[in-house]
Structure 1
Protein backbone atom coordinates (compact mmCIF):
# COMPACT_ATOMS: atom_id res chain seq x y z
CA UNK A 1 0.00 0.00 0.00
CA UNK A 2 1.28 3.45 -0.83
CA UNK A 3 0.19 6.62 0.85
CA UNK A 4 1.09 10.08 -0.46
CA UNK A 5 0.41 13.12 1.65
CA UNK A 6 0.50 16.39 -0.27
CA UNK A 7 0.22 19.77 1.37
CA UNK A 8 0.17 23.01 -0.59
CA UNK A 9 1.33 25.97 1.45
CA UNK A 10 2.09 29.26 -0.21
CA UNK A 11 2.80 27.62 -3.54
CA UNK A 12 5.19 25.10 -1.96
CA UNK A 13 4.46 21.37 -1.88
CA UNK A 14 5.31 18.89 0.86
CA UNK A 15 4.97 15.15 0.35
CA UNK A 16 5.72 11.96 2.23
CA UNK A 17 5.74 8.59 0.52
CA UNK A 18 5.33 5.34 2.40
CA UNK A 19 5.65 1.79 1.08
CA UNK A 20 4.02 -0.82 3.32
CA UNK A 21 3.16 1.90 5.81
CA UNK A 22 0.23 4.31 6.06
CA UNK A 23 2.12 6.64 8.38
CA UNK A 24 5.49 7.49 6.85
CA UNK A 25 7.76 9.47 9.16
CA UNK A 26 10.27 10.47 6.47
CA UNK A 27 10.05 11.92 2.97
CA UNK A 28 10.40 8.37 1.68
CA UNK A 29 9.96 5.37 3.99
CA UNK A 30 9.97 1.65 3.22
CA UNK A 31 8.78 -0.89 5.77
CA UNK A 32 9.83 -4.40 4.76
CA UNK A 33 7.79 -7.56 5.19
CA UNK A 34 10.12 -9.34 7.65
CA UNK A 35 13.58 -9.09 9.23
CA UNK A 36 15.49 -12.03 7.75
CA UNK A 37 18.37 -12.28 5.29
CA UNK A 38 16.31 -14.38 2.87
CA UNK A 39 14.21 -11.41 1.67
CA UNK A 40 15.04 -7.91 0.49
CA UNK A 41 13.58 -4.48 1.17
CA UNK A 42 15.39 -2.79 -1.73
CA UNK A 43 16.87 -3.99 -4.99
CA UNK A 44 18.41 -1.85 -7.75
CA UNK A 45 19.41 -3.39 -11.08
CA UNK A 46 21.00 -1.99 -14.23
CA UNK A 47 19.66 -2.24 -17.78
CA UNK A 48 20.91 -5.83 -18.11
CA UNK A 49 19.02 -6.74 -14.90
CA UNK A 50 22.27 -7.29 -13.04
CA UNK A 51 21.59 -6.51 -9.39
CA UNK A 52 23.85 -3.63 -8.34
CA UNK A 53 22.52 -2.65 -4.90
CA UNK A 54 20.77 -4.79 -2.32
CA UNK A 55 19.30 -4.08 1.11
CA UNK A 56 18.33 -7.26 2.93
CA UNK A 57 15.62 -7.30 5.57
CA UNK A 58 18.19 -8.20 8.23
CA UNK A 59 19.86 -4.81 7.60
CA UNK A 60 22.84 -6.10 5.63
CA UNK A 61 23.73 -4.24 2.44
CA UNK A 62 25.34 -5.56 -0.73
CA UNK A 63 27.00 -3.66 -3.57
CA UNK A 64 27.34 -5.92 -6.63
CA UNK A 65 26.64 -8.66 -4.10
CA UNK A 66 23.05 -9.91 -4.51
CA UNK A 67 23.26 -13.21 -2.61
CA UNK A 68 22.50 -13.39 1.11
CA UNK A 69 25.08 -16.16 1.53
CA UNK A 70 27.73 -13.56 0.58
CA UNK A 71 26.19 -10.66 2.51
CA UNK A 72 27.09 -11.81 6.00
CA UNK A 73 28.55 -8.46 7.13
CA UNK A 74 26.76 -5.15 7.65
CA UNK A 75 28.22 -3.77 4.40
CA UNK A 76 29.40 -6.06 1.60
CA UNK A 77 31.14 -4.96 -1.59
CA UNK A 78 32.10 -7.09 -4.58
CA UNK A 79 34.34 -5.17 -7.00
CA UNK A 80 33.63 -7.77 -9.69
CA UNK A 81 37.29 -8.05 -10.76
CA UNK A 82 40.69 -8.03 -9.08
CA UNK A 83 41.74 -5.35 -11.57
CA UNK A 84 39.18 -2.93 -10.09
CA UNK A 85 39.58 -1.12 -6.78
CA UNK A 86 36.85 -1.92 -4.26
CA UNK A 87 37.17 1.43 -2.46
CA UNK A 88 38.60 4.84 -3.32
CA UNK A 89 38.79 7.78 -0.93
CA UNK A 90 39.87 11.28 -1.95
CA UNK A 91 40.94 14.32 0.09
CA UNK A 92 41.66 12.32 3.25
CA UNK A 93 43.07 13.89 6.40
CA UNK A 94 46.41 12.46 7.52
CA UNK A 95 48.70 12.19 10.55
CA UNK A 96 51.05 14.82 9.14
CA UNK A 97 48.68 17.74 8.50
CA UNK A 98 46.03 16.94 11.19
CA UNK A 99 43.36 19.10 9.54
CA UNK A 100 40.26 17.75 11.35
CA UNK A 101 39.87 18.83 14.96
CA UNK A 102 37.47 15.98 15.83
CA UNK A 103 39.99 13.26 14.85
CA UNK A 104 42.31 11.81 17.48
CA UNK A 105 45.54 11.48 15.51
CA UNK A 106 47.38 10.04 18.53
CA UNK A 107 45.27 6.97 19.32
CA UNK A 108 44.29 4.82 16.34
CA UNK A 109 44.62 1.33 14.92
CA UNK A 110 45.05 0.11 11.35
CA UNK A 111 42.26 -1.78 9.63
CA UNK A 112 43.24 -5.20 8.33
CA UNK A 113 41.47 -7.80 6.23
CA UNK A 114 41.30 -11.59 6.51
CA UNK A 115 41.34 -14.08 3.65
CA UNK A 116 37.54 -14.01 3.45
CA UNK A 117 37.39 -10.23 3.01
CA UNK A 118 36.30 -9.38 6.56
CA UNK A 119 37.68 -6.05 7.77
CA UNK A 120 38.58 -5.58 11.43
CA UNK A 121 40.68 -3.42 13.72
CA UNK A 122 44.19 -4.53 14.60
CA UNK A 123 45.18 -4.01 18.22
CA UNK A 124 47.96 -1.44 18.21
CA UNK A 125 50.36 0.15 20.68
CA UNK A 126 48.81 3.55 19.87
CA UNK A 127 45.54 2.42 21.48
CA UNK A 128 46.90 1.05 24.76
CA UNK A 129 47.31 4.37 26.56
CA UNK A 130 45.50 7.71 26.59
CA UNK A 131 48.94 9.32 26.77
CA UNK A 132 50.09 7.79 23.47
CA UNK A 133 51.24 10.40 20.97
CA UNK A 134 52.20 10.35 17.29
CA UNK A 135 54.44 12.92 15.64
CA UNK A 136 54.46 12.12 11.92
CA UNK A 137 55.38 15.13 9.84
CA UNK A 138 57.81 17.14 7.76
CA UNK A 139 60.64 18.76 9.73
CA UNK A 140 63.67 20.95 9.11
CA UNK A 141 66.84 20.26 11.07
CA UNK A 142 69.14 23.20 11.74
CA UNK A 143 72.37 23.55 13.69
CA UNK A 144 70.47 24.50 16.85
CA UNK A 145 68.78 21.77 18.89
CA UNK A 146 64.99 21.54 18.28
CA UNK A 147 62.48 19.61 20.39
CA UNK A 148 60.78 16.73 18.63
CA UNK A 149 58.60 15.41 21.47
CA UNK A 150 58.40 15.34 25.28
CA UNK A 151 59.51 12.18 27.08
CA UNK A 152 57.58 10.78 30.04
CA UNK A 153 58.43 8.14 32.59
CA UNK A 154 57.87 4.81 30.84
CA UNK A 155 57.94 6.29 27.33
CA UNK A 156 59.00 4.06 24.48
CA UNK A 157 59.49 6.05 21.27
CA UNK A 158 59.62 4.60 17.76
CA UNK A 159 59.71 6.30 14.38
CA UNK A 160 61.02 6.03 10.84
CA UNK A 161 62.99 8.90 9.34
CA UNK A 162 63.72 9.54 5.67
CA UNK A 163 65.28 12.30 3.60
CA UNK A 164 65.75 13.28 0.01
CA UNK A 165 69.27 13.92 -1.36
CA UNK A 166 70.06 16.36 1.45
CA UNK A 167 72.32 14.35 3.76
CA UNK A 168 76.08 14.06 3.48
CA UNK A 169 77.21 14.80 -0.05
CA UNK A 170 73.77 14.63 -1.72
CA UNK A 171 72.80 11.39 0.00
CA UNK A 172 69.44 9.84 0.95
CA UNK A 173 68.92 8.54 4.50
CA UNK A 174 66.34 6.08 5.86
CA UNK A 175 66.29 4.61 9.38
CA UNK A 176 63.91 2.82 11.74
CA UNK A 177 64.66 4.13 15.25
CA UNK A 178 63.56 3.19 18.77
CA UNK A 179 64.41 4.95 22.04
CA UNK A 180 63.87 4.00 25.69
CA UNK A 181 65.45 5.40 28.86
CA UNK A 182 67.21 2.17 29.77
CA UNK A 183 68.07 1.09 26.23
CA UNK A 184 68.97 4.38 24.59
CA UNK A 185 68.66 4.64 20.82
CA UNK A 186 68.39 1.51 18.70
CA UNK A 187 68.37 1.32 14.91
CA UNK A 188 66.43 -1.66 13.55
CA UNK A 189 67.16 -0.93 9.89
CA UNK A 190 68.76 1.79 7.84
CA UNK A 191 69.85 2.64 4.32
CA UNK A 192 71.65 5.40 2.48
CA UNK A 193 72.46 6.18 -1.12
CA UNK A 194 74.62 8.93 -2.57
CA UNK A 195 73.43 10.79 -5.66
CA UNK A 196 76.88 10.47 -7.21
CA UNK A 197 79.80 8.38 -6.05
CA UNK A 198 79.85 7.08 -2.50
CA UNK A 199 79.63 8.76 0.89
CA UNK A 200 80.23 6.37 3.77
CA UNK A 201 77.73 6.48 6.65
CA UNK A 202 78.68 5.61 10.22
CA UNK A 203 76.01 5.34 12.91
CA UNK A 204 77.40 6.55 16.22
CA UNK A 205 75.77 6.27 19.65
CA UNK A 206 73.61 3.14 19.44
CA UNK A 207 72.64 2.24 23.01
CA UNK A 208 73.19 5.82 24.25
CA UNK A 209 71.03 8.95 24.40
CA UNK A 210 72.74 10.61 21.41
CA UNK A 211 72.42 9.04 17.97
CA UNK A 212 74.39 10.47 15.06
CA UNK A 213 74.13 9.55 11.39
CA UNK A 214 77.66 10.59 10.49
CA UNK A 215 78.43 10.91 6.80
CA UNK A 216 82.03 11.04 5.60
CA UNK A 217 81.36 14.44 4.04
CA UNK A 218 78.49 16.88 4.28
CA UNK A 219 75.44 17.18 6.55
CA UNK A 220 74.92 14.77 9.45
CA UNK A 221 71.70 14.08 11.42
CA UNK A 222 71.62 13.90 15.22
CA UNK A 223 68.83 12.72 17.52
CA UNK A 224 69.23 13.25 21.24
CA UNK A 225 67.29 12.41 24.41
CA UNK A 226 67.89 15.22 26.87
CA UNK A 227 66.85 13.97 30.31
CA UNK A 228 66.15 16.16 33.35
CA UNK A 229 66.77 13.53 36.05
CA UNK A 230 63.11 12.87 36.86
CA UNK A 231 61.73 9.32 36.90
CA UNK A 232 58.37 7.64 37.39
CA UNK A 233 55.24 7.13 35.32
CA UNK A 234 53.44 10.34 34.44
CA UNK A 235 56.46 12.57 35.02
CA UNK A 236 58.10 14.49 32.18
CA UNK A 237 61.66 13.16 32.21
CA UNK A 238 63.02 15.18 29.29
CA UNK A 239 62.60 15.62 25.57
CA UNK A 240 63.66 14.05 22.28
CA UNK A 241 65.55 16.51 20.10
CA UNK A 242 67.08 16.76 16.64
CA UNK A 243 69.66 18.87 14.85
CA UNK A 244 72.00 18.80 11.87
CA UNK A 245 75.74 19.11 11.96
CA UNK A 246 78.24 20.16 9.26
CA UNK A 247 75.58 21.95 7.25
CA UNK A 248 75.21 25.66 6.55
CA UNK A 249 71.52 25.32 5.67
CA UNK A 250 68.41 23.59 7.03
CA UNK A 251 68.07 19.88 6.28
CA UNK A 252 64.47 18.75 5.60
CA UNK A 253 63.40 15.28 6.71
CA UNK A 254 60.18 13.30 7.20
CA UNK A 255 58.99 11.12 10.07
CA UNK A 256 56.55 8.24 9.52
CA UNK A 257 54.92 5.49 11.63
CA UNK A 258 55.74 7.30 14.85
CA UNK A 259 54.51 6.72 18.40
CA UNK A 260 55.36 7.53 21.98
CA UNK A 261 53.77 4.84 24.15
CA UNK A 262 53.17 6.93 27.29
Structure 2
Protein backbone atom coordinates (compact mmCIF):
# COMPACT_ATOMS: atom_id res chain seq x y z
CA UNK A 1 0.00 0.00 0.00
CA UNK A 2 1.39 3.38 -1.04
CA UNK A 3 0.39 6.55 0.78
CA UNK A 4 1.23 9.96 -0.67
CA UNK A 5 0.21 13.13 1.12
CA UNK A 6 0.88 16.68 -0.08
CA UNK A 7 0.05 19.43 2.38
CA UNK A 8 -1.10 22.94 1.55
CA UNK A 9 2.39 24.22 2.42
CA UNK A 10 3.83 21.80 -0.20
CA UNK A 11 5.48 19.47 2.30
CA UNK A 12 5.03 15.87 1.16
CA UNK A 13 5.11 12.47 2.83
CA UNK A 14 5.42 9.21 0.92
CA UNK A 15 5.06 5.80 2.55
CA UNK A 16 5.18 2.52 0.68
CA UNK A 17 7.29 -0.41 -0.47
CA UNK A 18 10.07 -0.76 -3.03
CA UNK A 19 11.93 -3.69 -4.57
CA UNK A 20 14.35 -3.85 -7.49
CA UNK A 21 14.13 -0.20 -8.42
CA UNK A 22 16.72 2.41 -9.36
CA UNK A 23 16.06 6.11 -9.85
CA UNK A 24 18.12 9.25 -10.33
CA UNK A 25 16.82 12.17 -8.28
CA UNK A 26 17.58 15.90 -8.22
CA UNK A 27 16.36 16.82 -4.74
CA UNK A 28 14.52 20.13 -4.50
CA UNK A 29 13.68 20.13 -0.79
CA UNK A 30 15.01 18.87 2.53
CA UNK A 31 14.29 15.16 2.38
CA UNK A 32 14.36 12.66 5.25
CA UNK A 33 14.84 9.04 4.11
CA UNK A 34 13.83 6.19 6.44
CA UNK A 35 13.36 2.47 5.87
CA UNK A 36 11.81 -0.19 8.09
CA UNK A 37 13.28 -3.36 6.58
CA UNK A 38 16.16 -4.46 4.35
CA UNK A 39 18.44 -1.71 3.03
CA UNK A 40 18.44 1.09 0.45
CA UNK A 41 21.47 2.60 -1.28
CA UNK A 42 21.99 6.29 -1.96
CA UNK A 43 24.85 7.19 -4.30
CA UNK A 44 25.81 10.85 -3.99
CA UNK A 45 28.60 11.45 -6.48
CA UNK A 46 31.24 8.82 -5.65
CA UNK A 47 29.90 8.37 -2.14
CA UNK A 48 27.61 5.50 -1.18
CA UNK A 49 25.37 5.63 1.88
CA UNK A 50 23.60 2.37 2.65
CA UNK A 51 20.53 2.95 4.77
CA UNK A 52 19.27 0.36 7.28
CA UNK A 53 16.28 0.46 9.67
CA UNK A 54 18.46 1.67 12.55
CA UNK A 55 19.44 4.89 10.78
CA UNK A 56 18.15 7.72 8.58
CA UNK A 57 19.60 10.41 6.34
CA UNK A 58 18.63 13.99 5.56
CA UNK A 59 19.34 15.19 2.03
CA UNK A 60 19.72 18.88 1.26
CA UNK A 61 18.09 20.83 -1.58
CA UNK A 62 20.18 20.60 -4.73
CA UNK A 63 21.50 17.11 -3.95
CA UNK A 64 21.70 14.85 -7.00
CA UNK A 65 21.75 11.16 -6.17
CA UNK A 66 20.93 7.66 -7.34
CA UNK A 67 18.48 5.75 -5.14
CA UNK A 68 18.63 1.97 -5.48
CA UNK A 69 16.82 -0.99 -3.93
CA UNK A 70 17.76 -4.52 -5.00
CA UNK A 71 15.69 -6.95 -2.99
CA UNK A 72 13.38 -9.90 -3.61
CA UNK A 73 11.24 -8.83 -0.67
CA UNK A 74 9.54 -5.40 -0.64
CA UNK A 75 11.37 -2.79 1.43
CA UNK A 76 9.16 -0.55 3.57
CA UNK A 77 10.17 3.08 3.09
CA UNK A 78 9.21 6.54 4.28
CA UNK A 79 10.22 9.81 2.64
CA UNK A 80 9.49 13.21 4.21
CA UNK A 81 10.06 16.24 1.98
CA UNK A 82 10.14 19.66 3.67
CA UNK A 83 10.24 22.88 1.68
CA UNK A 84 13.04 25.38 2.27
CA UNK A 85 10.41 27.89 3.40
CA UNK A 86 9.08 25.47 6.05
CA UNK A 87 12.60 24.82 7.41
CA UNK A 88 13.48 28.54 7.41
CA UNK A 89 10.25 29.39 9.24
CA UNK A 90 10.97 26.61 11.74
CA UNK A 91 14.42 28.01 12.50
CA UNK A 92 12.82 31.38 13.27
CA UNK A 93 9.95 29.95 15.28
CA UNK A 94 9.26 29.43 18.96
CA UNK A 95 10.09 25.73 18.52
CA UNK A 96 13.78 26.56 18.60
CA UNK A 97 13.43 28.84 21.63
CA UNK A 98 11.15 26.60 23.65
CA UNK A 99 13.34 23.53 23.15
CA UNK A 100 16.68 25.15 23.97
CA UNK A 101 17.88 24.77 20.41
CA UNK A 102 18.75 28.42 19.78
CA UNK A 103 22.43 27.51 19.46
CA UNK A 104 21.64 25.96 16.08
CA UNK A 105 20.21 29.17 14.61
CA UNK A 106 23.13 29.84 12.31
CA UNK A 107 23.88 29.38 8.63
CA UNK A 108 25.93 26.22 9.12
CA UNK A 109 23.20 24.44 11.11
CA UNK A 110 20.66 25.09 8.38
CA UNK A 111 22.72 23.02 5.94
CA UNK A 112 22.41 19.35 6.92
CA UNK A 113 25.47 17.15 7.22
CA UNK A 114 24.53 14.38 4.79
CA UNK A 115 25.47 11.25 6.67
CA UNK A 116 23.74 8.48 8.60
CA UNK A 117 22.05 9.42 11.86
CA UNK A 118 20.74 6.90 14.42
CA UNK A 119 17.00 6.29 14.13
CA UNK A 120 16.22 6.11 17.82
CA UNK A 121 14.53 7.68 20.84
CA UNK A 122 12.26 10.66 20.25
CA UNK A 123 12.88 10.61 16.50
CA UNK A 124 11.68 7.00 16.30
CA UNK A 125 8.58 7.63 18.44
CA UNK A 126 7.66 10.75 16.48
CA UNK A 127 7.98 8.98 13.13
CA UNK A 128 5.90 6.05 14.37
CA UNK A 129 3.15 8.45 15.47
CA UNK A 130 3.32 10.21 12.12
CA UNK A 131 2.96 6.87 10.34
CA UNK A 132 -0.08 6.05 12.45
CA UNK A 133 -1.65 9.40 11.62
CA UNK A 134 -1.07 8.84 7.89
CA UNK A 135 -2.76 5.44 7.97
CA UNK A 136 -5.79 6.92 9.74
CA UNK A 137 -6.41 8.87 6.54
CA UNK A 138 -7.66 11.89 8.43
CA UNK A 139 -7.31 15.34 6.92
CA UNK A 140 -5.69 16.98 9.96
CA UNK A 141 -2.91 19.03 8.39
CA UNK A 142 -2.24 21.00 11.56
CA UNK A 143 -1.42 17.81 13.46
CA UNK A 144 0.72 16.47 10.61
CA UNK A 145 2.71 19.73 10.46
CA UNK A 146 3.17 19.50 14.23
CA UNK A 147 4.77 16.07 13.73
CA UNK A 148 6.94 17.47 10.94
CA UNK A 149 8.16 20.28 13.18
CA UNK A 150 9.11 17.70 15.80
CA UNK A 151 10.99 15.75 13.13
CA UNK A 152 13.18 18.85 12.74
CA UNK A 153 13.50 19.30 16.52
CA UNK A 154 14.67 15.71 16.88
CA UNK A 155 17.01 16.05 13.89
CA UNK A 156 18.75 19.06 15.42
CA UNK A 157 19.13 17.25 18.72
CA UNK A 158 20.78 14.35 16.91
CA UNK A 159 22.83 16.83 14.88
CA UNK A 160 24.12 18.19 18.18
CA UNK A 161 24.90 14.70 19.56
CA UNK A 162 26.34 13.15 16.40
CA UNK A 163 28.07 16.13 14.78
CA UNK A 164 28.66 19.11 17.06
CA UNK A 165 29.74 17.20 20.17
CA UNK A 166 31.91 14.73 18.23
CA UNK A 167 33.42 17.53 16.16
CA UNK A 168 34.26 19.40 19.36
CA UNK A 169 36.13 16.35 20.69
CA UNK A 170 38.83 16.74 18.02
CA UNK A 171 41.76 18.69 19.44
CA UNK A 172 43.18 20.31 16.31
CA UNK A 173 44.14 23.96 16.52
CA UNK A 174 42.80 24.89 13.09
CA UNK A 175 39.05 24.70 12.54
CA UNK A 176 39.63 23.87 8.86
CA UNK A 177 41.72 20.82 9.88
CA UNK A 178 39.01 19.67 12.28
CA UNK A 179 36.39 19.92 9.53
CA UNK A 180 38.54 17.96 7.10
CA UNK A 181 39.33 15.18 9.59
CA UNK A 182 35.74 14.97 10.81
CA UNK A 183 34.49 14.65 7.25
CA UNK A 184 36.85 11.73 6.71
CA UNK A 185 35.76 10.10 9.97
CA UNK A 186 32.15 10.21 8.78
CA UNK A 187 33.27 8.36 5.66
CA UNK A 188 34.89 5.77 7.94
CA UNK A 189 31.63 5.34 9.88
CA UNK A 190 29.70 4.95 6.64
CA UNK A 191 32.17 2.35 5.35
CA UNK A 192 31.77 0.32 8.54
CA UNK A 193 27.98 0.65 8.42
CA UNK A 194 27.87 -0.36 4.74
CA UNK A 195 30.18 -3.36 5.14
CA UNK A 196 29.46 -4.47 8.72
CA UNK A 197 28.69 -8.08 7.70
CA UNK A 198 31.88 -8.50 5.65
CA UNK A 199 35.44 -9.24 6.68
CA UNK A 200 37.66 -6.19 6.36
CA UNK A 201 40.76 -4.70 7.96
CA UNK A 202 41.32 -1.33 9.56
CA UNK A 203 43.44 -0.52 6.50
CA UNK A 204 40.33 -0.89 4.31
CA UNK A 205 38.45 1.61 6.47
CA UNK A 206 41.45 3.95 6.43
CA UNK A 207 41.68 3.76 2.64
CA UNK A 208 37.97 4.55 2.25
CA UNK A 209 38.34 7.60 4.47
CA UNK A 210 41.67 8.79 3.03
CA UNK A 211 43.50 8.50 6.35
CA UNK A 212 46.40 6.39 7.51
CA UNK A 213 45.40 3.47 9.73
CA UNK A 214 47.21 5.00 12.71
CA UNK A 215 45.62 8.42 12.19
CA UNK A 216 42.18 6.84 11.76
CA UNK A 217 42.42 4.81 14.96
CA UNK A 218 43.58 7.80 17.00
CA UNK A 219 41.09 10.37 15.68
CA UNK A 220 38.11 7.96 15.58
CA UNK A 221 38.59 7.19 19.28
CA UNK A 222 39.07 10.87 20.03
CA UNK A 223 35.88 11.98 18.27
CA UNK A 224 33.49 9.14 19.06
CA UNK A 225 34.83 7.86 22.36
CA UNK A 226 35.20 4.31 21.08
CA UNK A 227 37.44 2.50 18.62
CA UNK A 228 36.45 1.68 15.07
CA UNK A 229 36.23 -1.99 16.08
CA UNK A 230 33.94 -1.14 19.00
CA UNK A 231 31.75 0.88 16.64
CA UNK A 232 31.60 -2.09 14.25
CA UNK A 233 30.45 -4.30 17.14
CA UNK A 234 27.69 -1.82 18.01
CA UNK A 235 26.51 -1.73 14.39
CA UNK A 236 26.43 -5.53 14.22
CA UNK A 237 24.45 -5.74 17.46
CA UNK A 238 21.99 -3.12 16.23
CA UNK A 239 21.44 -4.99 12.96
CA UNK A 240 21.05 -8.26 14.91
CA UNK A 241 18.42 -6.56 17.07
CA UNK A 242 16.46 -5.58 13.94
CA UNK A 243 16.62 -9.14 12.58
CA UNK A 244 15.39 -10.53 15.89
CA UNK A 245 12.40 -8.19 15.68
CA UNK A 246 11.59 -9.54 12.21
CA UNK A 247 11.42 -13.03 13.70
CA UNK A 248 12.34 -14.83 10.47
CA UNK A 249 15.82 -16.02 11.40
CA UNK A 250 17.36 -18.36 13.94
CA UNK A 251 20.13 -17.16 16.27
CA UNK A 252 22.73 -19.07 14.24
CA UNK A 253 21.51 -17.47 11.01
CA UNK A 254 21.62 -13.98 12.54
CA UNK A 255 25.18 -14.54 13.76
CA UNK A 256 26.26 -15.27 10.18
CA UNK A 257 24.15 -12.50 8.64
CA UNK A 258 25.63 -9.75 10.79
CA UNK A 259 29.24 -10.92 10.60
CA UNK A 260 29.96 -12.45 14.01
CA UNK A 261 32.15 -15.54 13.96
CA UNK A 262 31.17 -16.96 17.35
CA UNK A 263 27.64 -17.64 18.62
CA UNK A 264 28.78 -17.56 22.25
CA UNK A 265 30.51 -14.17 21.93
CA UNK A 266 27.45 -12.77 20.12
CA UNK A 267 25.13 -13.92 22.92
CA UNK A 268 27.45 -12.47 25.57
CA UNK A 269 27.79 -9.11 23.79
CA UNK A 270 24.06 -8.91 23.05
CA UNK A 271 23.12 -9.58 26.68
CA UNK A 272 25.63 -7.00 27.86
CA UNK A 273 24.11 -4.38 25.53
CA UNK A 274 20.38 -5.16 25.81
CA UNK A 275 20.10 -6.91 29.23
CA UNK A 276 18.61 -10.06 27.66
CA UNK A 277 19.97 -12.97 25.66
CA UNK A 278 18.99 -12.85 21.96
CA UNK A 279 16.46 -15.68 22.44
CA UNK A 280 14.84 -13.97 25.44
CA UNK A 281 14.76 -10.66 23.57
CA UNK A 282 13.09 -12.33 20.58
CA UNK A 283 10.42 -13.89 22.82
CA UNK A 284 9.71 -10.59 24.59
CA UNK A 285 9.32 -8.71 21.30
CA UNK A 286 6.86 -11.22 19.91
CA UNK A 287 4.88 -11.36 23.16
CA UNK A 288 4.35 -7.59 22.84
CA UNK A 289 3.21 -7.84 19.22
CA UNK A 290 1.07 -10.95 19.65
**Normalising by the residue count of structure 1, what TM-score does the alignment of the two structures yield?**
0.24
The higher-RCO structure (CA 8 Å, 6+ apart) is 1
Larger Cα Rg: Structure 1 or Structure 2? 1
**Normalising by the residue count of structure 2, what TM-score does the alignment of the two structures yield?**
0.23
Higher helix share: 2
